[in-house]
Amino acid sequence: MSRFKAVIFDLDGVITDTAHYHYLAWKQLAESQGVHFDHAFNENLKGIDRMGSLDLILASSSRTYTPEEKLALADTKNLHYQELIATMSSKDLLPGAVEALDAVRRAGLRIGLASVSKNAFTVLGRLGITDKFDYVVDAATIARGKPDPEIFLKAARELGVAPADCLGVEDAVAGVAAIKSAGMFALGIGHPFVLTEADVVITSLKEFNLAAY
């Protein structure tokens, strides 16, 4: 028996890796605005929502932008990203992802998804795993992105589970901070020296063991 009643997963970098598609779309957008964009810059965007990421990129631009111009640029990036993810399928699931979801289900726990991606529903559909979740937070309904705990708190509320009874799974520093701020147990996917706020860190969901947390 697990001490938790629900597990709330992030999507990108945990269940699937759309980071490369985001990178390509942001790189094209940044360079169209005269901003140099590389993998090091891209690391700063990890776990940050679309408009927050855009603000970080445009901060390196020599010009200023109106709110309307920012929205147009964000839409341009998103359209390019949607074209890229249209090629996704179940082969893009990360190792151990389905097994972890199935293990949580067998344990009788609720399963939620807390991704700041407004394309999460599309990605889940392409991966063929929409029905494995009891509740998926619609990122369009979230006012504050990670590291604010809002998205995890909403997932817990809709699942009918107290935050203290939830295990959150994240690969980003901002995401782990959001989980801890929500009062949940944080399982990090990545490196312990990066995800220093996580309660436990594993390298991938291949190492997921619900009984160990």
What residue ranges do the domains of the chain occupy? Answer: 6-16+90-212, 19-85
46 is in an annotated binding site: yes
45 annotated as belonging to a binding site for a ligand: yes
- 57 is known to lie in a ligand binding site: no
* Amino acid 1: pLDDT: 75
Check whether 12 is labelled as a binding-site residue.
yes
Our answer to whether residue 17 is catalytic in this structure is no
Backbone angles phi, psi at 113, to 5 degrees: -125, 130
pLDDT score of 19: 80
Q: Smallest Cα–Cα separation from 178: which of 192, 168, 191?
A: 168
pLDDT of 48: 84
- Homologous superfamily of domain range 6-16+90-212: HAD superfamily/HAD-like (3.40.50.1000)
> Which of 12, 92, 102, 131 is labelled catalytic?
12
- Amino acid identity, residue 88? M
Give the pTM. 0.85
The CA-atom distances, in angstroms, between 36 and each of 23, 55, 59, 157 are 13, 14, 12, 41
Residues 6+ apart with CB under 8 A from 195: 170, 171, 173, 176, 188, 189, 201
As given in the structure block, the two tokens for residue 161 are 């589970």
The residue type at 118? K
Catalytic member of 10, 55, 134, 199: 10
Say whether domain 19-85 belongs to CATH 1.10.10.10. Answer: no
Q: Tens place of pLDDT for every residue, the chain, 213 residues? A: 789 999 999 999 999 988 889 899 999 999 999 999 999 999 888 778 889 999 999 999 989 999 999 999 999 999 999 999 999 999 999 999 999 999 999 999 999 999 998 899 999 999 999 999 999 999 999 999 899 999 999 999 999 999 999 999 999 999 999 999 999 999 999 999 999 999 999 999 999 999 999
- Cα distances from 181 to residues 23, 151, 152, 210, in angstroms, run 28, 11, 9, 22
Instruction: Based on the residue annotation, tell me whether 12 is a catalytic residue of this protein.
Output: yes
Cα distances from 96 to residues 110, 147, 202, in angstroms, run 18, 26, 12
C-beta neighbour count of 84 within 10 angstroms: 16
Q: What is the pLDDT of residue 118?
A: 86
pLDDT at 117: 87
Beta-carbon contacts of 162 under 8 Å, excluding residues fewer than 6 positions away, are 5, 156
The dihedral region occupied by 181, where left means phi > 0, alpha psi between -120 and 50, and beta the remainder, is alpha
DSSP letter (8 states) at residue 48: -
Q: Is 171 annotated as a binding residue?
A: yes
Give pLDDT, residue 20: 85
Count CB-CB contacts under 10 A for residue 31. 11
Instruction: Copy the structure tokens of residue 142.
Output: 């979230």
Q: Is 48 among the annotated ligand-binding positions?
A: yes
